[in-house]
Amino acid sequence: MVALEYIGISHFYTRTYNSDMPIADVKITSRSVVCSSQDNDCENPDIPLSRSWLRIAIAMVFAGQGMVFSLAINMTPPGYGSTSYWLLHGGLIFSSLLVVCFLGAPLIGSTIGMVRSRRLSIEGLFTVSLLGAFTGSLLCTFTGEGAVYYEIVSIVIAIYTIGRLLSGVAQSRLVKETIQIRECFDSALMRTEDGWMTVKVKNVPIGAIVRVQPGEPISVDGIICSGNAYVSETALTGEALPVVRNMGDVVRAGTWSVDGLLDIKVRAQAGKRDLDDLLQRVDDQAGNPSKFESQANRLIQYFLPFVVITSFLCLIYWLFVGSWIEAVFNSMAVLLVACPCALGLATPIGIWQGLLQLAKIGIVSRDGSLIDALAATRLVYFDKTGTLSDASMEVTNFTVVKEWEDRYESLQAMIYTLESKLSHPIARSITNFLPKSDLPISNFKIIPGLGVTGTIEKQFVEIGELGINPKLVKDEFLAKIVGSKGKPIYVFIDKQLAAIFILKERLRDGISLLEEGFKNLNIKVEVLTGDPNPGIELPLIVRSGLSAQQKESHIRSAIRNGLDPLFVGDGINDAPAMTVSMASISMGSGTALARSIANGHLVNDQIGAIPKAIHFSRALHRRLRSNLIYAASYNVLGMGLAFFGVLHPIVAALIMALSSFVVTFRATYFKFNYNSN
């Protein structure tokens, strides 16, 4: 008994084969996999994630306690220099420094990097506010004058860390998926002077001969020099059905030999394969900021200098009109009140509430930028295979020759028996169409790239491409199906044509309503597919035969035209386009790489949820914009009060509480009618 295991694009297959058993008894099963418990190199991503959230929880506990004690100290301060005074102030200082030790390293490191690169970023605003709060509070502690704001240190660091953590989780998931794909196509069976040896693809030179067994991945770009087979190219081209590849045809890394043994002459080294180019494009774009992140960074370019200059002018002003203690304290208060906590509260609460509503509509996401992109988009691109259509096929026509019409049930039983021995997608479509049957079979044989044969009830049955018996199909019978669009599969009994199946992709439910839904939203819709000959009719603009690079080019063109494109896809060939688009949505049944790149996933692959999600996001975006204006107004007002030294601790606490309550109420109690136009 030999057990063979190999990792596919998005599934884990296990084939069990005994050299003594007939091939008809070989069974192939499939199940989703993320990590094998027996793989020592596979780490549990939830462990570091849970530790990070634990640290944030600890920081928030200290922040809450700090707010309570700070408010008590500011309202009823103990006598300066007393034991209780130093215990309370010392405890607040210790808790602030403890939070900095727990969570402050990323913020401090990013700020140092910002200074070294001579650029301004949101980290600078967080750090300035943190320093203002801590320095001003220290001054108050050692002089006994003014108010303390030590809790702001904990709050600032916790808010920054949460945002960084969420971004890092998505990034690490993407990196993990690209690594898995590279490893899947990282070795090949190469012919050497000592025989066939498994080697790393990077050690396979141009011109070498590589052998691919049935059911194994193709790890090189090259030309078939021996053999033929059905090759599954869905991951790279989006074509639903495996295609026939014969001697002299080009095959590419990232595809699979379904049923045949192939010898391939290598024509591209590792790093120069089409698959390498595709994954490199994903890596190159993964670290780039989105449009909305870029807009926020541009805003910081003006706001951060404004805050620093205002603080400096406040220092100069109070040195002339007051004491140096007032000057330092008020200038630090300006930095304190410029803290982006209010801005950081206005958007996250609304975004998380919005993500909850998106889940109810049918799109699951942890990425708040998806709401921004849905609200801004004016063009939606769809992949075809696996997105607008099911990855599987359906039988749309089953024509039986006259001689077999009176033996219709017997013919169906023989076809089902033969096709049920395969896990080929064409075979699954046919068996799903026919009633179940299980007749005795002998002489079962797979003809790679053509079909399957066997003897049932003393009759020789052949099912497959026209090439399996090209001279036996009469022109007058072909004329009956010439108008049927789709893929024909022929059935021969004892070398005589008995029937023909026509297979087509099956459109998902709700396609007919998509065009109208997007039209009401004034959004253009196009389909970008790698399938050179789409076998289905769509009420949308279809651009076919596109490579992954050409899809990406369409996206970039739309971005340059200011259309803020959204891409909806499911496969590896969609990855570059999904990465460069303003946002992307993957099918819930899509490949692991597509799901890791996407900003959101469709629940049960219900694409009708997308127009509803766009409508909702536009309404929510208007609400969030008004919240941001309110929060920004609070910052400006607070800075003005701090500048003139009238930011009393109680007033500041009341303003913060009122601001937080209003923002939270407006974000949490946002109602929306999903069925409205």
238-267 pLDDT, tens digit each: 566 688 888 888 898 888 888 888 999 999
Query: Are the C-beta atoms of 487 and 393 separated by less than 8 Å?
Result: yes
In CATH, the number for domain 363-388+508-615 is: 3.40.50.1000
- In the chain, residues under CATH classification 3.40.1110.10 are 391-507
Average pLDDT over residues 300-324: 85
Q: Indicate whether 416 pLDDT > 90.
A: yes
pLDDT at residue 16 in the model: 32
Instruction: Pick 22 or 464 by higher pLDDT.
Output: 464
Whole-angstrom Cα distance, residue 526 to residue 567? 10
Instruction: Give the mean pLDDT of the chain.
Output: 76
How many CB atoms are located within 10 Å of the residue 514 CB?
21
How many CB atoms are located within 10 Å of the residue 535 CB?
20
- In the chain, residues under CATH classification 3.40.50.1000 are 363-388+508-615
pLDDT at residue 224 in the model: 92
Q: What is the pLDDT of residues 628-677, one digit of tens each?
A: 777 777 778 888 887 888 765 556 555 665 666 676 676 666 666 555 44
pLDDT at residue 28 in the model: 30
Q: Indicate whether 522 pLDDT > 80.
A: yes
Largest CA distance in the chain: 110
pTM above 0.85, yes or no: no
pLDDT at residue 23 in the model: 31
Whole-angstrom Cα distance, residue 182 to residue 619? 42
pLDDT at residue 661 in the model: 67
Residues belonging to the chain? 677
pLDDT-derived band of residue 17, with 50, 70 and 90 as boundaries?
very low
pLDDT at residue 602 in the model: 83
Q: Indicate whether 361 pLDDT > 90.
A: no
- If you search the block for the tokens 């605003």, which residue do you land on? 125
pLDDT-derived band of residue 561, with 50, 70 and 90 as boundaries?
very high
Highest mean pLDDT among 127-131, 363-367, 582-586: 582-586
3-state secondary structure of 566: strand
Q: What is the pLDDT of residues 600-611, one digit of tens each?
A: 888 777 788 889
Of 485, 486, 493, the closest CA to residue 468 belongs to 493
Cβ neighbours for 19, distance < 8 A, ≥ 6 positions apart: 2
Whole-angstrom Cα distance, residue 545 to residue 228? 23
In CATH, the number for domain 391-507 is: 3.40.1110.10
